Amino acid sequence: MRFALFSVLVAVVTALGLVAPAGAAREIDPRPSTEELARRLFDLQLRSGGEVRVAPIGASNQGRPVWSARVGHGPQRLLFVTQQHGDEPLGTPAAVEFLREVGVGNDPHQRWWRDQVTVDVVVRANPDGHEHDWRYNYDPDADPEFGEAGKGYDINRYHDPAVAPQDNPATEAGLIQRHYAEFRPHIAVDYHMQGRYVGGDGREITASLMWPTTPGVAAEPLNLAKQVSVVARTAMDAGGANVSQYPGGDYQGIARNAYGLLGSGSVLIELSDMGPDHEQFQIASALASMHAISNATADGSLRNTDPAEADTIPPRGEPLTS
């Protein structure tokens, strides 16, 4: 009850425009605490009149809920995952803003969009890692093949389709595997962050992306992943980004590869960690990719995108040293 009253209060304050100073661009909190994140998601559920549906897909090793927020009821299903690596935060606030923009309100475009697609976001897949401000989950007794003894597992190496969720030693990866199997998305996009790099022309790379590179991914999901990559890159570059390919590995435990093997158009997006002055830009860039991918799916333009264009995205260059 207290929670409901609080949410109504938040809605009223937000509606009155009391959150941001008049005339200032609204700043998005780049690192909401996990408690604050839950408050925001349930506030969206309330303010959207139930168009945004929030539910836990399970709990982290330390008992924090891992949230799914779902919006839309169309036949095309998209899964976005943010923050598998706890210290790569910016996909999460972008996803919250995305959910607000597509879920809260009832204008004709929103209604049309929600009739075409269903977007499910695993918002902050690794809440323990976020709270510890590290890459791994929290499992200090583990001596993992991928991860760090004394800390935990690298969740994004434990999506191998050959490993059943109940046998998955990385708890939160098992949760995502189960959620994926239930939802069966056509498209899956995994948001991460990387260091700083320059491209061949000397301009800084602001983000990198890649489709599945593991052997055995069928032609159709591979083409779809390349189409998603082209649409994301075009939208991000239009907003001032400079997107390259990401030189990722071919191990099938990586989500990008695993969900490609399972038949989704599966893409990794890595925002460069360009420091505090660029965080709002990077959140906006991730947000632009979410809108572009879902809009192009909804209006069918994704399927008319030339997948070969993905191969013309330039490679990532050298690390930036300054």
> Based on CB atoms, which residue is closest to Zn ion, 77 or 85?
85
Identity of the residue, 98 or 136, whose beta carbon is nearer to Zn ion in the bound complex: 136
Q: Which of 145, 270, 279, 309 is an active site residue?
A: 270
Residue 270 is among the residues annotated as catalytic for this protein = yes
Query: How many C-beta neighbours within 10 Å does residue 74 have?
Result: 17
CB crowding 139-170: b at 16 or more within 10 Å, else e:
beebebebbbeebbbbbbbbbbbebebeebbb
Q: Which residue is nearest to Zn ion (CB)?
A: 192
- Which residues, at least 6 apart from 200, have a Cβ–Cβ distance to it below 8 Å? 314, 315, 317
Here's the x/- map for Zn ion, 189-228, by CB under 5 A: it reads as ---x------------------------------------
CB of 193 to Zn ion, least distance (A): 6
Applying CB under 5 A, which part among 79-87, 92-100, 175-183, 199-207 lies near Zn ion? 79-87
Taking the alpha carbons at both ends of the chain, their separation in whole angstroms is 53
Contacting Zn ion within 175-194 (CB under 5 A): 192
Whose Cβ is closer to Zn ion: residue 179's or residue 192's? 192
Q: How far is the CB of 85 from Zn ion (least distance, A)?
A: 4
Alpha carbons 137 and 108: distance in angstroms, whole number: 41
Alpha helical stretches, state H, the chain: 2-15, 34-47, 91-103, 108-116, 127-132, 171-183, 219-238, 255-261, 279-299
Smallest separation (angstroms) from Zn ion to the CB of 74 = 29
**Residue among 88 and 97 whose Cβ is closer to Zn ion:** 88
Long-range contact set of residues 236-240: C-beta below 8 Å, sequence gap at least 24: 236/206, 236/207, 236/285, 236/288, 236/289, 236/292, 238/288, 239/284, 239/285, 239/288, 240/206, 240/281, 240/285
Query: Binding to Zn ion by residue 157, rule CB under 5 A?
Result: no
Cβ neighbours of 313 (radius 10 Å)? 21
Q: Least distance (Å) from Zn ion to the CB of residue 24?
A: 31
- Closer residue to Zn ion, CB minimum distance, 274 or 302: 274
Q: Report the nearest approach of Zn ion to the CB of residue 192 (Å).
A: 3
Residue closer to Zn ion by CB (options 51, 88) is 88
How many residues belong to the site for Zn ion (CB under 5 A)?
3
Query: How many whole angstroms separate alpha carbon 201 and alpha carbon 131?
Result: 38
CB 169 to Zn ion: min, Å:
19
Site mask for Zn ion (CB under 5 A), range 83-112, x = bound: --x--x------------------------
Q: Residue numbers of the site for Zn ion (CB under 5 A)?
A: 85, 88, 192
The residues carrying an active-site annotation are 270
